[in-house]
Chain A
Amino acid sequence: MQFTAYQIVTPLISFIAVTYAWNLVLRQRKTIWEAILWSMFWGTIAYIALFPDALDYLTAATGIKDRENAVVVTFLGIISFILFYLIIRIEEMEQRQTRVIRKLALKDLDKK
């Protein structure tokens, strides 16, 4: 069986992602449940990379067989990633604002 570069790199990335998730569990920053969900997600990606035939049913059902559709789906994936990234950034900013407001409120407590 001959592997393409994609079939080697993707499972490697998945392995790193899964290792990182369990490392976070050990450092008590992620729960076991979250690490299981994360492992399942990356495990599926690695499996699809190693055995692309697994997607035959999906391609038949969705019609992502031709090149144009593949390009559209790829860009949808990229847009989803950008969206996730923006949501995380907005949440971080929200949390930063909340921390400032909390500090101001607790300053009043010191005065009391």
Chain B
Amino acid sequence: MKIAAVIPAYNEGDRAGKVVEDALQYVDMVIVVDDGSSDDTAAIAKKAGAIVLSHIQNCGAGAATMTGIEAARQLGADCIVTLDADEQHSPEDIPALLAPIQSDEADIVFANRFGQKNRIPFIRRFFNSIGNMITFAATGKWVSDSQCGFKVFGPKAAMQVNLRMSGYEFCTEIVRECAQHHWRTAQVPAKVVYSEYTLAKGQSFANGVKTALRILLRSFLR
């Protein structure tokens, strides 16, 4: 099974290199999609051994993830791991996330940051719960950590996934794709590291509301 990691990155020059190096220990190739960064993210990721694709303009995490998935398909990957470039996710968890796919128990595996003891600030837990509820309202499918970018797509899901939402709504769209294509799902507890940087980088409240409205509107008008 050929495994590719897809890492969407926007101005992550300080962190992307380490994430690529760590991920390469567990996958066959790492694809970094530089989403119109103004820093040296692309050069650093390339130096660390990643295949780098660049968006000429910032399109959003969803758009960058889909570009990476498309590239992985073209490069013949059977299995696609998506993770963030900000060192929030630990590539050490990749084998655990891959296990349900390799044993043919699931078509998609969601990392669950709340499934094990992680130091997650209350406000993050709160907004993630709201994200889960909105995702459930829009898709009818409950996922314990629907907004986590750390996922593994098995062969069936990797082939069928087609994300149209450009921003952070793509996490909900993936759950919708699960419901639409009847993918078998698994949820695996995963480590998460919240540094000062990742906490500061998080979405603003206004952005969260905007994302929620877009999800609900799109699910209704689709």
Residues of B within 8 A of A84 (CB): 217, 221
With an 8 A cutoff between CB atoms, is B117 at the interface? Answer: no
Residues of B within 8 A of A41 (CB): 220
Pick from A37, A95, A101, A112: contact of B164, CB below 8 A. A95
Beta-carbon contacts of B28-68 to A below 8 Å, as 1s and 0s?
A: 00000100000000000000000101111101100100110
**What would 11 A/B residue contacts be, using CB atoms closer than 8 Å?**
A28-B181, A31-B179, A32-B179, A34-B222, A37-B219, A94-B166, A97-B57, A102-B59, A105-B54, A105-B71, A106-B70
Q: With contacts A87-B217, A106-B53, A106-B70 known, what are 18 further pairs, Cβ within 8 A?
A: A31-B139, A31-B140, A31-B176, A33-B138, A33-B140, A34-B219, A36-B140, A37-B219, A84-B217, A88-B221, A95-B166, A98-B59, A98-B166, A101-B63, A102-B70, A104-B55, A108-B53, A112-B51
Residues of A within 8 A of B179 (CB): 31-33
How long is the Cα–Cα vector from A22 to B10 in the complex, in angstroms?
40
Residues of A within 8 A of B139 (CB): 31, 33
With an 8 A cutoff between CB atoms, is A56 at the interface? Answer: no
Most chain A beta-carbon contacts within 10 A, residue among B139, B141, B222? B222
Q: Which of A68-82 contact B (CB under 8 A)?
A: none
With an 8 A cutoff between CB atoms, is B103 at the interface? Answer: no
In the complex the two chains form, is A108's CB within 8 Å of B54's CB? yes
In the complex the two chains form, is A105's CB within 8 Å of B67's CB? yes
Smallest CB gap from A109: residue in B = B71
Smallest CB gap from B62: residue in A = A98
In the complex the two chains form, is B59's CB within 8 Å of A106's CB? no
With an 8 A cutoff between CB atoms, is A30 at the interface? Answer: yes
Inter-chain contact total with CB atoms closer than 8 Å: 72
How long is the Cα–Cα vector from A43 to B216 in the complex, in angstroms?
19
Q: Which of B66-112 contact A (CB under 8 A)?
A: 66-67, 70-71, 74-75
What total of chain B residues lie within 8 Å of the partner, measured CB to CB? 32
With an 8 A cutoff between CB atoms, is B204 at the interface? Answer: no
Beta-carbon contacts of B132-167 to A below 8 Å, as 1s and 0s?
A: 000000111100000000000000000000001010
Beta-carbon contacts of A20-61 to B below 8 Å, as 1s and 0s?
A: 000000001111111011100100000000000000000000
In the complex the two chains form, is A106's CB within 8 Å of B71's CB? yes
Residues of A within 8 A of B59 (CB): 97-98, 101-102
How long is the Cα–Cα vector from A62 to B143 in the complex, in angstroms?
38
In the complex the two chains form, is B221's CB within 8 Å of A102's CB? no
How long is the Cα–Cα vector from A38 to B221 in the complex, in angstroms?
9
Residues of A within 8 A of B221 (CB): 84, 88
In the complex the two chains form, is B176's CB within 8 Å of A109's CB? no
How long is the Cα–Cα vector from A102 to B166 in the complex, in angstroms?
11
With an 8 A cutoff between CB atoms, is B218 at the interface? Answer: yes
How long is the Cα–Cα vector from A78 to B218 in the complex, in angstroms?
19
In the complex the two chains form, is A104's CB within 8 Å of B56's CB? yes
Residues of B within 8 A of A97 (CB): 57, 59
In the complex the two chains form, is A91's CB within 8 Å of B71's CB? no
Residues of A within 8 A of B67 (CB): 102, 105-106
